[in-house]
């Protein structure tokens, strides 16, 4: 969801940057790339390493998430190009859609509801529900189990390296739509398609 359907990575970066600045720490776009699609436990761990104190690291995370939710409710997140069109098409052609995100389930559902895309999904599957988050295959293997889908009838859309590795390791076809960073060539080769936006994905199903 983050970075693929919604332009949330920008908001995650800005809120963490702003809270860290309050405590006297600099946080740049290049720093944020290490946090993308890693899940919240890893985010807390990295913030703790950055500030050098576990309590402060958790405080920065919590305050940044509070600020994230405030800005989310204020409409500061836009839906990515082609996302609604693709979701509408998949709904009209009776395909089941699932969000499989490294983020916490409460945040996933809240974000999807506020941005108006929740209606398109059969279920929301979170990194909280598996032992190992992306880039391990656990999340997608669990998604197959919950959806009762076979690998051959499943396609994954991802924007980040960890997600591509997760889907590919689970033996699934993955379509790459780059967002914050463009994955390295060896990662791009793991995708069955690389597209500039989700609008272009509609033709894959026709």
Residues 25-46: tens digit of each pLDDT: 999 988 988 887 777 888 999 9
- Domain end, chosen from 47, 73, 99, is at 73
The mean pLDDT of 83-95, rounded to a whole number, is: 97
When pLDDT is averaged across residues 169-187 and rounded to a whole number, the result is: 91
The two three-digit tokens of residue 156, written as one number: 């994954």
Q: Considering the domain boundaries, does residue 193 fall inside one?
A: yes
pLDDT digits (tens, 9 = 90+) for 123-138: 999 988 999 989 999 9
Q: Does residue 13 sit within a domain?
A: yes
Contacts of 142 (CB under 8 A, 6+ apart): 125, 129, 130
The domain total for the chain is: 2
Residues 64 and 104 in one domain: no
The last residue of a domain, from among 53, 73, 93: 73
In which band, very low, low, confident or very high, does the pLDDT at 192 lie, cut at 50, 70 and 90? very high
**Are residues 131 and 169 part of one domain?**
yes
Residues 90 and 60 in one domain: no
CATH at 156: 3.40.50.1000
Residue 117: name the closest of 103, 98, 101 by CA.
98
Residues 41 and 113 in one domain: no
pLDDT, residue 116, reads: 94
Provide the domain limits for residue 134.
83-205
Which residues, other chains included, contact 199 with Cβ-Cβ below 8 Å and sequence gap of 6+? 81, 82, 85, 86
Residue 146 banded pLDDT, cuts 50, 70, 90: very high
- Around Cβ 52, how many Cβ atoms within 10 Å? 9
pTM: 0.83
Q: Residue by residue, what is the 3-state secondary structure of 30-76?
A: HHHCCCCCCCHHHHHHHHHHHHCCHHHHHHHHHHHHHHHHHHHHCCC
Q: Is the dihedral of CA 182, 183, 186, 191 positive or negative?
A: negative
By the 10 Å C-beta count (0-12 exposed, 13-18 middle, 19+ buried), 190 is classed as middle
Length of the chain: 206
Q: What confidence tens digit (pLDDT) does each residue in 52-70 have?
A: 999 999 999 999 999 998 9
Q: For 157-180, what is the mean pLDDT?
A: 94
65 occurs within a structural domain: yes
Average pLDDT over residues 87-105: 94
174 shares a domain with 119: yes
Domain membership flag for residue 177: yes
My answer on whether 143 and 91 are in the same domain is yes
Same domain (yes/no): 69, 87: no
Kindly state whether residues 118 and 165 are assigned to the same domain.
yes
Does the residue 147 lie in any domain? Answer: yes
Same domain, yes or no: 63 and 96: no
């Amino acid at each position: 969801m983050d970075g693929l359907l919604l332009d949330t990575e920008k908001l995650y970066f800005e809120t963490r940057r702003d809270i860290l600045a309050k405590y006297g720490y600099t946080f740049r776009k290049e720093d944020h790339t290490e946090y993308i699609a890693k899940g919240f436990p890893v985010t807390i761990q990295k913030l703790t390493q950055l500030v050098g104190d576990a309590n402060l690291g958790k405080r920065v995370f919590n305050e940044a998430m509070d600020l994230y939710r405030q800005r989310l409710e204020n409409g500061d997140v836009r839906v990515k190009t082609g996302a609604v069109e693709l979701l509408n098409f998949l709904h009209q052609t009776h395909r089941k859609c699932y969000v499989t995100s490294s983020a916490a389930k409460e945040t996933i559902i809240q974000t999807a509801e506020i941005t108006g895309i929740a209606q398109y999904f059969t279920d929301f599957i979170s990194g909280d529900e598996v032992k190992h988050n992306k880039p391990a295959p656990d999340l997608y293997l669990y998604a197959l189990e919950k959806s009762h889908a076979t690998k051959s009838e499943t396609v994954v859309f991802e924007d980040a390296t960890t997600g591509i590795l997760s889907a590919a390791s689970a033996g699934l076809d993955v379509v790459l739509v780059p967002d914050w960073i463009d994955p390295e060539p060896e990662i791009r080769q793991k995708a069955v398609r690389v597209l500039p936006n989700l609008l272009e994905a509609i033709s894959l199903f026709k």
